[in-house]
Structure 1
Amino acid sequence: MEYRKMKPSDIQGVYEVEVSAFSNPWTISALKSELNNKLANYIVAEDENGKILGYVGAWYILDEAHITNVAVHKDARGRKIANGLMENLIQECLKSKIDHITLEVRKSNIIAQNLYKKHGFKPEGVRTEYYQDNREDAIIMWKEIKAV
């Protein structure tokens, strides 16, 4: 598995991951606009055949990163791809002198919460009825890192 920065030619593959992973996926145009967003930083997981199997995105604002999405194609789950994406994102944050990383995760998504906890994220609050599709609460999680 290769982990690398997302490029324009990855959009279709990232979109396929989105559709596979989420009931309310981002559109292709939204993904394209992220490539032009100076705050946005995206990493893809690409297999040996050049297929995008997952991605993670974050906005870097001053010394903080806000994770926008972590997704792995449903057919590629169980291969520790999300773990690799998180490890690569944390390393990129360190290189960029980011001190804190935050995200929101569905209250019902215990698998994702456990992944984030494994990487040192801690639940710090709740956003009530955060998700528009079903008004589910989001758990706000934070991780403190210090650039070396």
Structure 2
Amino acid sequence: AFFAIVRERRMRYSRTAVRLSPAPLARRQKLQADTLAALSRRQDRVISVRLERLRGKLTQADRLLATLSHKAVLARGFALVKDADGAVIKQAAEVVPGLALSLEFADGTADAIATSGAARPKTVAKPAAKAKEPGSQGSLF
């Protein structure tokens, strides 16, 4: 009976020892390492593509900013007029004699003093319409 118990325990040990072998662990570790390497390569490609797309969007936004910037308007010969506080003057009616102005051009700024106020357009009187003769239409009855 003792030898039967020893034999049975030896068989159980052999079965357990096979499962505890480092070979399956090594195979699994190699498989996981290969998977990790593949994911790393894929991540590098995805990041590269994403950065390229973002770089393109940034370039496009930069072009749009340059197009819509007031600097592009200044480059065409216009000027930006500001008062002493830096507020933009949008209409001639806002200018009064003696007002300190800052004129911004494409190549720099210049200070100025307003010598006159807003120029108001001259109104031209319409010629008076001639009165129609009351009897020229005739009778409707």
Between 1 and 2, higher relative CO (CA 8 Å, sep ≥ 6) is seen in 1
Which of these two proteins has the greater Rg computed from alpha carbons?
2
With normalisation by structure 2, the TM-score equals 0.17
Normalized per residue, the structure richer in helix is 2
